[in-house]
A and B are shown apart, each in its own frame.
Chain A
Amino acid sequence: MYETTYHKASSVSEAVDLLKKADDGKLLSGGQTLIPTMKQRLAAPSDLIDLRQIDELKGISRQSDGSIRIGAATCHADVAGSADVKEALPGLAALAGKIGDPHVRHMGTIGGSIANNDPAADYPSALLALGASIETNKREFTADDFFTGMFETALDEDEIVTAIVFPATEKSAYAKFPNPASRYAMAGVFVAKGANGTRVAVTGAGQDGVFRVKEMETALNGSWSPDAVASISVSADDLISDIHGSSEYRANLVTVMAKRAVAAA
């Protein structure tokens, strides 16, 4: 790891100030992506601004309209274990409980995961399928506008994700085929039926990151059953092909995971 200077922020405004003052600063949340990347010398921020101790970024609350608000620095284990999330959004709780391993879930956070937008990360599929909104220190995004490509988001350099709000949803479920070594998704499909209609979002497979499958959404609007999506496949053209699996293999996994998710919802 290259040299760096560590700062602990105790509020969002302090974090913004520290970030502005830094030469080439980076926010540090759970560190479960950033620290391994720095160890490999693939990132070399001059300064690290730690968000993990900022109280206003933590916690899960159910709001009066039934939506669930999750602070950006809330760890995966807390989302997986939350009684409110399990009741209102079982698919989201199940997803959080399948990220990596128990130790990664103790540190890694929802804000860090979506800001990073790894094409194989789990959370982006839930935000897109549930029609979540993303609050930052500057503005609010819809999930549709937030994820802009592989490891790309609509965030500015000095912008901090503060919370994610998930609207009340009738049904939600997630099915993931994990890479046996890394546990990241080879293909993960999140299905939801709620205020934003029926949505199907796929992670782990797309070259540009998370995407929706409109054809499956239409089919599920007609009939919510695994059979409704069984004969729908996505084109392999825009899917990832790597040592873990070809794009054709991933295309097949998308249909299989969609069926499993619908069956589980």
Chain B
Amino acid sequence: MANASTNIAAAGPRGPKPRRAISGRNIMIYGTLGLVALYYALPLYVMIVTSLKGMPEVRLGHIFAPPVEITFQPWVKAWAQACTGLNCDGLSRGFWNSVRILIPSVVISIAVASVNGYALVNWKFKGSETFFTILIFGSFIPYQVMLYPIVILLREMGIYGTLGGLVMVHTIFGMPILTLLFRNYFTSVPEELFKAARVDGAGFWGIYFRIMLPMSMPIFVVAIILQVTGIWNDFLFGVVFTKPDLYPMTVQLNNIVNSVQGVKEYNVNMAATMITGLVPLTVYFISGKLFVRGIAAGAVKG
């Protein structure tokens, strides 16, 4: 009896159900993915290829053809020699301007917003809910509406047209969304942890730096990605709030690409665009890994 039943069990289905490698479903999935990848990769390919060709080769118009003679001259020119209006020192000036805008803006906005979010969750004060509502409302106001008032404000403060002014603008405009981000994250931290720290005698900053901050790396990475790409890619504020010799890279790129004098140097333009995009691209590559690691570390509850 017992033997017979085990035999039947052995003969029947057992373990994982076998799946065919090539099925209609798989073809659909990989086919679609392939098409989408091609759609995004093709323009990138054209840009890279063109930026490595000399002008004579570009003029032939075979945009998909790989370069016959690889030259890095367009990249060098884009970085160091391309002309924008008055000066001819390439994108390098804009790059350093952007760096000088980016670093303080990212650091200040994230520092302030994380403390904001922490205070809103753990140190509720009278009117903290109202404050939060106003802040959220702020994230729905279109930037364009505020441009002119801010120009006047900066002028009155005497920092219109300086990097400091632009840093301030970026910090302020990053505030609503970043505060929301941090507030929501800190809400998910158990309240008892905060209470335990208070019994242990840690104060406002003690709890922030020693308990909350080390627990919140994933959300800081998210905030950094958000701010670095957002501020680096900003064009509007850069154009409005700075002067030509302080223009960020994006504005300078536009000026190079749209310059009217002389021939259009497609290879230099492509190289310039690639250089400008390198920073957000690098951030994605590096932080992607960090991000996953951060999430994995945060997932283990204490």
Pairing of A with B: no
Interface residues of B (CB under 8 A from A): none
Interface residues of A (CB under 8 A from B): none
